[in-house]
Amino acid sequence: DIQMTQSPSSLSASVGDRVTITCRASQDISNFLAWFQQKPGKAPKSLIYAASTLQGGVPSKFSGSGSGTHFALTIRSLQPEDFATYYCQQYDSFPPTFGQGTKVEIK
């Protein structure tokens, strides 16, 4: 199975900050990478697929980049509703696998 490694595992940031989360795949996955957001007690929310394509309705403050084995999710101008845990997921190979998550907390 392809291993997905996110860094950092958590970070503290202030409202208005720009943050970047990275995700590394254990082998080349082209651009078959998705990002999603999870808040406590809520359904996960899909943000990005194909490494950089926003899902419908997702604000442009979220952006994704990368290909091959290195990927990044950037959130511009953090707002209170953005504090959550973010996960990457590869879908290049069977089975689909996930990163361990990055928790974005308020500083």
Partner 1 sequence: EVQLVDSGGGLVQPGGSLRLSCAASGFTFSTYDMHWVRQVSGKGLEWVSGIGSGGDPYYPDSVKGRFTISRENAKNSLYLQMNSLRAGDTAVYYCARGVAVLGGSWYFTLWGRGTLVSVSS
SS3 27: coil
62 binds partner 1 (CB under 8 A): no
For partner 1, which stretch binds (CB under 8 A), given 12-20, 38-46, 58-66, 74-82? 38-46
Distance of closest approach, residue 15 Cβ to partner 1, in angstroms: 26
Q: Does 92 bind partner 1 (CB under 8 A)?
A: yes
Piece of the chain touching partner 1 by CB under 8 A; list 19-27, 31-39, 59-67, 68-76: 31-39
User: Which of 83, 35, 31 lies closest to 55 in space, CA to CA?
Assistant: 35
d(CA 31, CA 93): 12
Q: Which of 54, 62, 84, 89 binds partner 1 (CB under 8 A)?
A: 89
